[in-house]
């Protein structure tokens, strides 16, 4: 049975610099190295109103539908989650493509299905990520469903006439 054994906080200091390292790949126009496995999210700060950036791992994508789904490792306390809840209009960069999108939350059943598919595709990685995030899990379908229900999963839906241009 999955149990969160410790509350995770966003990284600070040197750890924060390491977590933000992929942003520099995008700034150096090397985002293509991360392909569609990661995306660069440009969102609006809920207090400052200024553009903010973070790189997120894509746990599911449906390019035909223009949807990219991510899992918030730090939960609903993540600044980017709070920001997209206030202002869901965002820009995502996948590889070398910048797209205007809207952040939405999948329903509970859809979130479970997405996380289960990801866990089946990357069983070792999901086990490592869950441990890193403070979960004790035996990796069963029941555990993954429980974690999906407790977690923050966001889908970015690309808007029509989606070219966002360079920023």
- In terms of pLDDT, which residue wins out, 166 or 54? 54
Between CA 113 and CA 103 the distance in angstroms is: 19
Q: What is the mean pLDDT of residues 38-46?
A: 95
CATH of the domain at 154: 2.30.110.10
**Backbone dihedral region for residue 87 (phi beyond 0: left; psi -120 to 50: alpha; all else: beta):** beta
The H-assigned helical ranges of 2-159 are 13-19, 21-27, 79-86, 108-121, 123-132, 141-150
Q: What is the pLDDT of residues 50-91, one digit of tens each?
A: 999 999 999 999 999 999 999 997 788 889 999 999 999 999
pLDDT at residue number 53: 93
**Count of structural domains within the chain:** 1
For residue 137, what are the domain limits? 3-163
Q: What is the pLDDT of residues 7-36, one digit of tens each?
A: 555 556 665 555 666 776 777 776 666 677
Q: What is the pLDDT of residues 112-142, one digit of tens each?
A: 999 999 999 999 888 888 887 788 788 889 9
pLDDT at residue number 138: 81
């Amino acid at each position: 049975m999955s149990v969160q054994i410790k509350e995770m906080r966003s990284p600070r200091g040197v750890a924060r610099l390491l977590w933000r390292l992929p942003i520099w790949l995008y700034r150096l126009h090397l985002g293509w190295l991360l392909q569609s496995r990661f995306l660069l999210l440009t969102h609006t700060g809920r207090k400052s109103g200024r553009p903010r950036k973070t790189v997120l791992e894509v746990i599911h994508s449906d390019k035909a539908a223009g949807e990219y789904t991510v899992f918030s490792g730090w939960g609903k306390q993540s600044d980017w989650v709070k920001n997209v809840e206030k202002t869901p209009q965002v820009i995502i960069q996948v590889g070398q493509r910048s797209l205007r999108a809207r952040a939405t939350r999948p329903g509970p059943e859809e979130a479970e299905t997405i996380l289960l598919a990801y866990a089946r595709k990357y069983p070792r990685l999901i086990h490592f990520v869950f441990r890193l995030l403070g979960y004790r899990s035996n990796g069963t379908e029941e555990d993954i469903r429980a974690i999906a229900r407790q977690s923050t999963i966001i889908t970015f839906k690309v808007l029509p006439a989606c070219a966002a241009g360079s920023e």
